[in-house]
Structure 1
Amino acid sequence: MSKTFYTLLPDRAVIRVSGPDRVSFLQGLVSNNIETITADKSGYGALLTPQGKFLFDFFVYQQDEDSLLIECERGENGERAAELFKKLRMYKLRAKVELTDVTESYDVIAVFGEDALSTLSLDVAPGTTGHLAEGIKAVDPRLSAIGARVLLPKNSLAEMAAIGASESDVEAYHQLRVSLGLPNGSEELEIEKSILLENGFEELGGVDFKKGCYMGQELTARTKYRGLVRKRLLPIKIDGSAPEAGTAIMNGDKEAGIIRSIHGDHGLALIRLERISDDADLRAGDAKITVVVPDWVSLPATAA
């Protein structure tokens, strides 16, 4: 029996960027190299403040030869997608670009499980992309271990059963996501405060240091080349009563981090690297906290 599961991601929105200047327009704004996005390869990136702080993260797919699709946070009432749309429109200026909110035309689906990529006939390389019916299937551009993302036209979910995937609930996906250390936009990243390299964007393919200038590039490059990463967003295991997001993790009387999210007995926390030695006794409220460093994370030598 295939170990492939799928779930709708109701917190996602889709914006179409079309027109002859679509690539150059986004290239000067976002952290990743939009020129690498093709029918066979999708990508992950972020839009930053001019000071290099997080605003939005998203996935980018090629819809056709004239259009790109940005899959982004929707927000509780659609406000996050509306803010991104407004920001892109503000920077459009004279670029030959058309922006369209096409959220109501698509279902965004996470496909995960041991057999997810083989069920979708996808290679294991992050970002590998193809077509599924009238939609798009892509290995998650960040990390293939999380599975794939599928954009299907509305009312096409029968395609998932047709390939042998079983419906799951969204919480099962998020428990896997946090155990792997993958952020979910503003659920774990602080708007206008978080820094990309503290949140894994370099290892997860969300920033390109060779593409040239983009908004917020100076701080991002300085953080890398001066070795200024002192904190990292990392998975945690929780033993005991789960504290709330925002609770401080303490090592004795010193703060070792802040919990950003909790799903089941796992979560994500922004951890101060100098305070997570092997003998650290980490606590959050009444719970014992264990920090897990995923294989894909590259920590500074002094913190490894």
Structure 2
Amino acid sequence: MPAIQLTDRTVILAAGPDARSFLQNIVTTDISALAEGEVRPGALLSPQGKIVFDFVISRAGEDTFRLDCRRDIAEAFLKRLMLYRLRAKVELSLREEALIAVSWDNDSTASQNDSTLLDRRFPEMLGVLRHYGKAVAEECDIGLWHRLRIEHGVAEGGWDYAFGDAFPHDVLFDQNGGVGLAKGCYVGQEVVSRMHHRGTARRRLVIVEGEAPLPAPGMEVTAEGRTIGALGSVSDRIGLAIVRIDRAAEANAAGTPILAGGVKLSLRPPAYARFSLTESGGKEGTA
């Protein structure tokens, strides 16, 4: 049972009688569909529809929600949330001392005390759990956690994309529960909705495998000298990349090598994704 302390993460709490409606009106996650015992991904967008902050969110008691985010963006994220609070009856606080850990491949289950939660970004059979307020006694290498993310197509801001640069569709938030496509208005919703209904998402997160160890994150992914994307997280010969799926599909159809820093790559969508790289144009599946 690998267990890892995520020292680069912290928690913002949103508590009060208006906490649910406050969050429902500004973030991408459908808060009304968030169940106890689970964490789901989400983001706060710019009015132009790009991800400014991302997080995983969970219930932490009655009228209380836990936003688990990168430590290095937490203060800026809190300030942005404060701007939207206005007269809402919600208290926002940064819990810098929060302990966050992950574990998987174990027989544990989500708890009823809001401290051990199932991470819905991963297949349930993996048993990936998020632990709050728990110190790990025998910690494993954090590289194991990043490799798990890579293998299952779970992107995170700061590792796989720059904040302010990616649309939710780019990192598959529309397909992994990070966007409530049926919910009402939230910041950036019009852009996300238009992209979804018109099927205009051109960039998508893919899993890449190299014939040799992959170069560093940020390296361009190319086909015949034309840039089609860039690498995110890497672990030896496997990594994540955000690519133009139309260009990747064209390269695959033509038998054109796809490269990153001279390393030949094979690309595939995550298992949960609803798009293909085998047809010209990068065909989207149905929801």
TM-score, normalising length: structure 2: 0.88
Q: CA deviation at 1:239?
A: 2.3
Q: CA deviation at 1:135?
A: 5.3
Whole-angstrom distance in 2 between the partners of 1:157 and 1:229 = 40
- What corresponds to 2:21 in structure 1? 24
1:70 to 52, 58, 67: 67
- What corresponds to 1:126 in structure 2? none
Whole-angstrom distance in 1 between the partners of 2:39 and 2:227 = 39
- What corresponds to 1:130 in structure 2? 111
- What corresponds to 1:162 in structure 2? none
Which shifted more, 181-190 or 31-40?
A: 31-40
Which shifted more, 259-268 or 86-95?
A: 259-268
Q: CA deviation at 1:242?
A: 2.9
Summarize the Cα distance change of 1:9–1:286 in structure 2 as closer, same or farther, 3 Å threshold. same
Whole-angstrom distance in 1 between the partners of 2:196 and 2:245 = 16
Q: CA deviation at 1:44?
A: 2.1
Is the contact between residue 223 and residue 259 of structure 2 (CA under 8 Å) also seen in structure 1? yes
Q: Match of 1:208, SS?
A: coil
Whole-angstrom distance in 2 between the partners of 1:260 and 1:9 = 19
Summarize the Cα distance change of 1:66–1:293 in structure 2 as closer, same or farther, 3 Å threshold. closer
Q: CA deviation at 1:183?
A: 0.5
2:203 to 215, 220, 231: 231
Summarize the Cα distance change of 1:39–1:273 in structure 2 as closer, same or farther, 3 Å threshold. closer
1:100 to 90, 93, 100: 93
- What corresponds to 2:273 in structure 1? 297
Q: Structure 1 counterpart of 2:260, which letter?
A: A
- What corresponds to 1:59 in structure 2? 56
Q: Match of 1:23, SS?
A: helix
Whole-angstrom distance in 2 between the partners of 1:17 and 1:273 = 37
Whole-angstrom distance in 1 between the partners of 2:215 and 2:171 = 21
Q: CA deviation at 1:169?
A: 1.3
Q: Deviations over 1:178-224 (max 9, x none)?
A: 12111022221222220111211111101111110000000000111
Q: CA deviation at 1:103?
A: 2.9
- What corresponds to 1:109 in structure 2? 101
Is the contact between residue 11 and residue 96 of structure 2 (CA under 8 Å) also seen in structure 1? yes
- What corresponds to 2:108 in structure 1? 120
Q: Match of 1:130, SS?
A: coil
Count of residues paired in the alignment: 275
- What corresponds to 1:86 in structure 2? 79
Q: Match of 2:60, SS?
A: strand
State whether structure 2 residue 13 is matched by structure 1 residue 33. Answer: no
1:142-181 mapped onto 2 (5 Å cutoff) = 142-144=121-123, 147-153=127-133, 156-157=135-136, 167-181=139-153
Is the contact between residue 54 and residue 189 of structure 1 (CA under 8 Å) also seen in structure 2? no
Is the contact between residue 235 and residue 291 of structure 1 (CA under 8 Å) also seen in structure 2? yes
Which shifted more, 188-197 or 208-217?
A: 188-197
Whole-angstrom distance in 2 between the partners of 1:112 and 1:81 = 26
Q: CA deviation at 1:41?
A: 4.2
Q: Structure 2 counterpart of 1:91, which letter?
A: Y
Which shifted more, 249-258 or 208-217?
A: 249-258
Q: Structure 2 counterpart of 1:153, which letter?
A: G
TM-score, normalising length: structure 1: 0.84
- What corresponds to 1:282 in structure 2? 258
Q: Structure 1 counterpart of 2:75, which letter?
A: A
Q: CA deviation at 1:246?
A: 1.8
- Runs ≥4 residues deviating over 4 A: none
Q: Deviations over 1:279-304 (max 9, x none)?
A: 23111222111112222111167425
Q: Structure 1 counterpart of 2:14, which letter?
A: V
Identity %: 30
Consecutive unaligned residues in structure 2, runs of 5 or more: none
Q: Structure 2 counterpart of 1:250, which letter?
A: T
